[in-house]
């Protein structure tokens, strides 16, 4: 999830520099959502004693 947050953040920065405000805003919101879902999953796995999802 954190990888997706970084990807969306980079997309938002590039779109913002190029002047695509709507796309940049959407990418920032998606980055926030991906970050907080990743944080929530990390907390759940930490509390349950697991190291992460099975690969």
pLDDT at 53: 66
Per-residue pLDDT of 22-39, as tens digits, reads 999 999 999 999 999 999
Could you give the 3-state DSSP secondary structure of residue 40?
helix
Is position 55 within any domain?
no
Domain holding 8, by residue range, is 2-48
Range 7-31 average pLDDT: 91
- Whether the full predicted model's pTM is greater than 0.75, yes or no, is no
**What pLDDT score does 46 carry?**
85
Residue 38 lies in a domain: yes
Q: For residue 54, is it within any domain?
A: no
What gap in Å lies between CA 21 and CA 5, rounded to an integer? 18
Q: What is the DSSP string of 17-30?
A: HHT-HHHHHHHHHH
CA distances (Å), 21 to each of 1, 12, 35, 42, in order? 24, 9, 21, 31
How many domains, the chain?
1
Percent of the chain with pLDDT over 70: 89
Q: What is the pLDDT of the chain when averaged over all its residues? A: 87
Nearest to 28 by CA among 15, 41, 37: 15
């Amino acid at each position: 999830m954190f990888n997706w947050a970084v990807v969306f953040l980079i997309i938002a920065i590039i779109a913002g520099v190029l002047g695509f405000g709507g796309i940049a805003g959407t990418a920032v919101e998606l980055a926030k959502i991906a970050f907080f879902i990743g944080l929530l999953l990390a907390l759940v796995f930490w509390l349950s004693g697991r190291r992460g999802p099975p690969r």
